[in-house]
Chains A and B, each alone.
Chain A
Amino acid sequence: MGYRYDFDVITEWIAPGEKVLDLGCGDGSLLRHLMEVRDVQGYGVEIDPDNIVACLANGINVIQVDLEKGLAGFEDGFFDHVIMSLSLQAIHNTQGILAEMLRVAREAVVSFPNFGYWRHRQSILNGRMPVSESLPHQWFNTPNVRFFTIADFEAVCELNGIAVRERLAFDEGRLVHDEPNFLASVAVYRLGRQG
């Protein structure tokens, strides 16, 4: 996927030397970047064998875990940050994994494609499932299993006692200030526990 603009936002939220867990870490590029510029003690989680091999080649700690089964082996509050970059929509157990993230870390960073983006709505209005930079697959080969908007995500956070500490929204790389649920293709959140 080349350059990922959510990497810069995520990097801003990580302090030097933190313990970081990256769920669905792909080939480990984000952790590699955070190790280089933030000197983090990083661990990736992956299920795909090819991605595990890519992480090892990248010099990243990677642990094979099925996220649908939660994070049972990880201790409460061990990590400073747990990250899930553009993977939440590919997991069935949405509420379970959000709860697990805020159990193992003080703060969670989550980014996802916004199905409510105006180009996606336009596509549905024209009678076809959206395919875009943020939703690059066809309906018949997409790894995505949950289809939700920025408004949907914030409602589920409210329902589960999750505090939204910060949200940044992007239209294919450009920062969006107004009407993010309509104008943004991707949102990046910093989340904590309420209270």
Chain B
Amino acid sequence: MSFSTDWRFSPARSREIVYALLHNRRNVSYAEIDSPAGHDAFLLDETHYHAVLRSYFDRIEV
């Protein structure tokens, strides 16, 4: 997951990790959250970001 305006951990770098995992047949998902808030977007109450995290965590089997 990345935020569109984050230059600390940019979407481009996240995508490199995503494709490296995919091409090694690992399970991987990626969402790019559209936000004007830069790196600090992860601290904010952004609807799409929270929905993605929630549905991902809900699928984790313990």
Q: Name A residues whose Cβ lies closer than 8 Å to a Cβ of B.
A: 19, 41, 43, 49, 52-57, 59-64, 73-75, 78
Contacts and interface: CB of A to CB of B under 8 A. Distances in A.
Interface in B28-62: 28-32, 48, 51-52, 55-56, 58-59
12 contacts: A43-B22, A53-B52, A56-B29, A56-B52, A56-B55, A59-B59, A61-B29, A63-B22, A63-B28, A73-B19, A74-B19, A75-B23
A73 B15 contact: yes
Contacts of B51: 49, 53
Contacts of B55: 53-54, 56-57
Contacts of A57: 55, 58-59
Contacts, number: 50
Interface of B: 15, 18-19, 22-23, 25, 27-32, 48, 51-52, 55-56, 58-59
Contact of B23 (A60, A63, A78): A78
B54 to A, nearest CB: 8
Nearest to B32: A64
Given A56-B52, A59-B59, A64 B30 contact: yes
Given A49-B48, A78-B23, A56 B30 contact: no
Contacts of A78: 23
Return the 4 tightest CB-CB contacts between A and B, nearest first. Answer: A56-B55, A57-B55, A73-B19, A53-B51
A64 B23 contact: no
Contacts of A63: 18, 22, 28-30
A86 B18 CA distance: 26
Contacts of A55: 29
Contacts of A73: 15, 18-19
B58 A49 contact: no
B24 to A, nearest CB: 11
A59 B56 CA distance: 8
Given A62-B30, A78-B23, 11 more contacts: A43-B28, A49-B51, A54-B55, A56-B52, A57-B55, A57-B58, A61-B22, A61-B27, A64-B31, A64-B32, A75-B23
